[in-house]
Amino acid sequence: MARKVLVLGEVRDGSLRNVSFEAVAAGKTASEGGEVVGVLIGDSVSALANGMIHYGADRVVTVEDEKLKQYTPDGFSQALMAVIDSESPDGLIFGHTAMGKDLAPKIAAKLESGLISDVTSLEEAGGNLVFTRPIYSGKAFEKKIVTDGLLFATIRPNNIAPMEKDESRSGDVASVAAEIKDLRTIIKEVVRKASEGVDLSEAKVIIAGGRGVKSEEGFEPLKELASVLNGAVGASRGACDADYCDYSLQIGQTGKVVTPDLYIACGISGAIQHLAGMSNSKVIVAINKDPEANIFKVADYGIVGDLFEVVPLLTEEFKKLKVNA
Amino acid sequence: MNIYVLMKRTFDTEEKITISGGKINEDGAEFIINPYDEYAIEEAIQVRDANGGEVTVVSVGTEEAEKQLRTALAMGADKAVLINTEDDIENGDQFTTAKILSEFLKDKDADLIIAGNVAIDGGSGQVGPRVAEILGISYVTTITKLDINGSSATVVRDVEGDSEVIEASLPLLVTAQQGLNEPRYPSLPGIMKAKKKPLDELEIDDLDLDEDDVEAKTKTIEIYMPPKKEAGKVLEGELEDQVKELVKLLHTEAKVV
């Protein structure tokens, strides 16, 4: 069944986040030959519209207003509802990001629709669009379908491959007028903590530290390795509880669930709650002094040794690789 | 302050998950208060202690959730309500739960509603914002700090590691992120007192809802375990050689760098 699917793009620091292109690809699958319409909301976003078209959107609709400079649930839902009213879509796809997680349930409640969150793949099967998503933090998976109304899903970053970028693709870019008013939550200040380095949920490479890192300073070699690999630094609960790092870095059943291409666990024993947050990574490397550590059971490659010796050596080796590449 | 907490009973995070008959096997499993809801309960108690008022913890589920509701009472909540859906709803989804909770909350004049930002079993994180929208109140998700000043609140929201400082008016719904507080353990006197605190039980009929009103919009057609990972290769030899080999393997065999 050909459908019209709206895909909400996400802008950060003046450019489109990768998950926007992944969402376009998901929208393409969900549209089954229908139309994929990109939606961009912000104070000045129309210049980015072609980016969504290059990655496969048929056209883009924008809503621009100075009150939409920062994301708020009221502002963005007013803008999006104006687009939904004018487009009457059959489907909606957002990224399962801080913004998507916050906004999608509000829109679903407004439309009295279902919503399938945190989808890692979708496919047409037996006349249904089937969404796959992790449950119990990735200890199991479920397949879900929509039984009534709108197809609405948020997709997990880093799991659905974007389409090939094609700059010769073109499409219509139009703006929709929306009255943005009565914002009930006001952002007074944004404190950037994560701005140094790469966002954990979208990182292709994650270097994570556990109790074995021993101190806040102990994260330094991990940070250096991360910067050589253009990756992000994460942590186990043990490291966060011991105050070696901020809870925003925590990976696990409580904390972030990540699926990078490469996960390097340094001084992490591998408690079941931590494994739930990272065991679906494509390739896992474990570095631990204890050869019996649980983490080796899920690792593709392991080195038994002191992370303070191994990590700097690794950093040097990767630097050489980069120079030779 | 009239404070409500939305709570879910979930599998203990220590539990290994197995499947039998197409469902998650619950036999012999330990159940707990969803860890994020524990932060919500703790925060509600602290807000009440600072501002006065009453904390009511509400859960949609089966009779078995009484145990977790009693734990919440033992932590210091004043009242608990179980909306028992055992006889009426077989396969609800987030639409279902949010509709039931909002129907319960709509005439309660809550000043503050606190929920966990996500449940560690289903992991959708929808119910809090859905309830706020249905009730027509504003919300802030994944908060790490909450200050109540009269009829307004200053909230710190975790946005993928960054923090937003947000001002909002009451009534407000917030969802708890890790780092918000350190939940207390129930004390022995707390546990004794909890036995005498009110724990009401309702069914959806009592909310003038019938099954059709809350029928799920989505359906789970299959549950499966991820493919088991083969144990990997632990490298051997001199440390420097191991490191060289690892980089080579990641580059040529795994092709991730």
Nearest to B129 among A106, A194, A254 (CB): A106
**Percent of chain A, pLDDT > 70?**
99
Q: ipTM value of the model?
A: 0.94
Tokens describing residue B198: 């009110």
Range A31-63 burial, b when 16+ CB lie within 10 A, else e: beebbbbbbbbbeebbebbbbbbbbbbbbbbbb
| pLDDT level of residue A197 (50, 70, 90 thresholds) | low
First to last CA, chain A: 46
- How many Å apart are CA A75 and CA A41, to the nearest integer? 9
Spell out the domain ranges in chain A: 4-175, 200-324
A282 touches B256 (CB < 8 A): yes
Query: Does residue B234 sit at the A interface (CB-CB below 8 Å)?
Result: yes
Q: What is the dotted CATH code of the domain comprising A200-324? A: 3.40.50.1220
Contacts of A190 in chain B (CB under 8 A): 159, 162-165
Are A149 and A111 within 8 A, CB to CB? yes
We find that the CATH architecture of domain A4-175 is 3-Layer(aba) Sandwich (3.40)
- To the question of whether residue A149 is assigned a binding role by annotation, the answer is no
Integer Cα distance of B245 and A116 in angstroms: 42
* C-alpha–C-alpha distance, residues B250 and B243, integer Å: 11
**Which helix (DSSP H) or strand (DSSP E) does residue A287 occupy?**
strand A283-288
Query: How many residues are present in chain B?
Result: 257
Pair A111, B189: CB distance under 8 Å: no
Is there a binding annotation on residue A168? no
DSSP A112: T
In single-letter form, the type of residue at position A320 comes to K
Classify residue A296 by burial, with Cβ atoms within 10 Å: 0-12, 13-18, 19+: buried
A200-324 has the same fold as A4-175:
yes
pLDDT interval class at A194 (50, 70, 90): low
| CB neighbours of residue A259 within 10 Å | 21
Q: How far apart are the first and last CA of chain B?
A: 55
Angle between the A98-111 and B94-105 helix axes, to the nearest 10 degrees? 70
pLDDT band at A89 (very low <50, low <70, confident <90, very high): very high
Which residues of chain B have a pLDDT value below 50?
none
Separation in Å, CA of A40 to nearest CA in chain B: 19
Q: If DSSP states are collapsed to H, E and C, what string results for B109-158?
A: CCCEEEEECCCCCCCCCCHHHHHHHHHCCEEEEEEEEEEEECCEEEEEEE
Q: List every span in chain B annotated with CATH 3.40.50.620.
A: 2-214
* Residues 6+ positions from B108 with CB-CB distance below 8 Å: B2, B4, B56
One-letter amino acid for residue B138 of the chain: S
Chain A residue numbers touching B13 (CB-CB < 8 A): 253-254, 272-273, 276
Give residue A131's Cα distance to chain centre: 17
Residue A91, phi then psi, degrees to nearest 5: -150, 155
Question: At the fourth CATH level, which superfamily is domain B2-214?
Answer: HUPs (3.40.50.620)
Q: Report residue A13's pLDDT band, with 50, 70 and 90 as the boundaries.
A: confident
- Both tokens of B159, joined, read 């946005």
Answer left, alpha or beta for residue B197, where phi above 0 means left and psi between -120 and 50 means alpha.
Answer: beta
| Nearest one of A85, A80, A91 to A35, comparing CA atoms | A91
Of A35-49, A180-194, A207-221, the one with minimum mean pLDDT is: A180-194
Task: Report chain B residues whose CB lies below 8 A from the CB of A194.
Answer: 160-162
What pLDDT is attached to residue B245?
95
Q: Select the residue of A130, A136, A201 nearest B160 (Cβ to Cβ).
A: A201
pLDDT of residue A196: 60
A69 touches chain B (CB under 8 A): no
The residues, any chain, with a CB within 8 Å of residue B92's CB and separated by 6 or more, are B85, B214, B216
Residues in B closer than 8 angstroms to A188, CB to CB, are 154, 165-167
Q: What is the average per-residue pLDDT within A139-150?
A: 95
Alpha carbons A269 and A295: distance in angstroms, whole number: 6
Q: Rounded to whole angstroms, how far apart are CA atoms A93 and A100?
A: 9
8 Å CB contact between A244 and A214: yes
Cα distance between residue B128 and residue B174, in whole Å = 8
A181 and B CB contact within 8 Å: no
What's the whole-number mean pLDDT along residues A238-250?
92
- Supply the DSSP symbol for A59: E
pLDDT at A199: 80
C-alpha A109/C-alpha A97 separation (Å) is 18
A324 CB within 8 Å of a chain B CB: no
Subunit contact A133:B123, Cβ cutoff 8 A:
yes
Tokens 């990109």, located at residue: A38
Contact B168 A191 (CB under 8 A): no
